[in-house]
Each structure stands twice: as C-alpha cells, then as structure tokens.
Amino acid sequence: MTVAGLPGIPGGAQMVPALDMFIADALREPELEVCGAFIYRHIEPFLDDGKVSWIKEIEWVRLNNVAQEPSQAFVLDSGELGFILQNEIESLREIADNSGLAFPVEIFMSGFSPLVSIVHSHPGGTTSPSHADFKMLEGASTWRRATAPQSIMGAPDDAQFYEADFIFALHKDEGPKQGTLVHFKRGVKRAEWKGDFS
C-alpha cells in the first residue's frame, strides 16, 4: 500500500508523491528518525488564455534534526531550512527574469512561504507526538506563519494541507514495511492510516 491508496490525504493529488517519498525514505532507514519538510515549488511559467500561470509541485526535502536529544525531541535546522527556502525564492526571480514575465517577487517574499508542512518518523512505533515534538526553531515558526493557505494552490479547498504535520511510525515487531501514517493539523490529530507501505 502506498500513500496514494489512502483516502482523504490532505492537499489532494499534489501532496501524494511527496508523502510517498517521505515514507520510502523512512522505510530505507527504519532504525533512524527521518525528518524534514514538504516544499511548495514553482517550476516554470506558461501562458494560459493570455495570462501567466505557474506549474507547481510539492517536494519532500530531508532536513537535520538538531535537537539536543534527537530521540526525545524534534527541532529542524532553521539555517538549513532558510537556505532551501531562499534558493526557492531566488529560483523564482531567475525564472521570471529569464522569461521576461512579470512576477511580484516582493509580494512573494513578504506574504508567502514555500514551506507546506513538517514531517518526521518515529522508529519506535509510537503514533503520538513526544512532549517536545513539533518544537520549531524561531525561523521555521516564522516561515510557517507566513504561509497563506489561499495562496498555495489558488483556492482554499486546494490548501487543506496548510499547517499539516505528519508522523510515520514504524512498527518493528510487525515487519519493516508496517507503519502508521498520522496526520495532524494545528496540533490536532485528523487522520491515521496503518498498513504495509511497501
């Protein structure tokens, strides 16, 4: 079973490939915590009925857990995350400049972040966040607050994954491919799926 076979995944089809990649990454290293973020990426502009639109995708990006006790807490490396997001912004600027298409980069920088959600795995199999889980460094928290849900896909219905967090718990006693994917939104558990994710 892959994530694509699960009903009700937030964010629709655009979120599924990135979630599949995250789980595959966790299954490759079942003894280690895997953590990172889903990045909302603009790939290239195209003309649609004379208007400029942007091809978009959501990508899984693995990041370091820099908590003092990584097995007990989850804190993303904000410098690493900041570098990735800044590269995304610079890429947008370059695409716009090279294509001759106008793009409001200043508006993007002040009101929209390409950070979609935060994810990590639990090698021990627990599906509940630890006491210190989801504790973001100040930079990551700021970027998440800057994300406008209506801006991500152009409509609120397409942005259900906004402020979504995922835990993938690996159940060692039930085989390396068995796991539980838990979806949180604003700190509240919204859904849980258990099965063979191979």
The pLDDT of residue 23 is: 95
pLDDT tens, position by position, 121-178: 998 888 988 766 766 545 555 666 555 544 444 444 444 455 568 899 998 776 668 8
Q: How far apart are CA 168 and CA 125, in angstroms?
A: 8
Q: Which architecture does CATH list for 3-196?
A: 3-Layer(aba) Sandwich (3.40)
Q: Exposed e or buried b for every residue in 143-158, given b needs 16+ CB within 10 A?
A: bbeebeeebbbeeeee
Q: How far apart are CA 17 and CA 3, in angstroms?
A: 8
**Does residue 180 contact residue 168 with C-beta atoms inside 8 Å?**
yes
The pLDDT of residue 94 is: 75
Q: What is the pTM of this model?
A: 0.80
The domain spans of the chain are 3-196
The pLDDT of residue 62 is: 93
Ranges in the chain, pLDDT < 50: 106-107, 109-111, 137, 149-160
pLDDT tens, position by position, 124-136: 888 988 766 766 5
Q: How far apart are CA 78 and CA 195, in angstroms?
A: 33
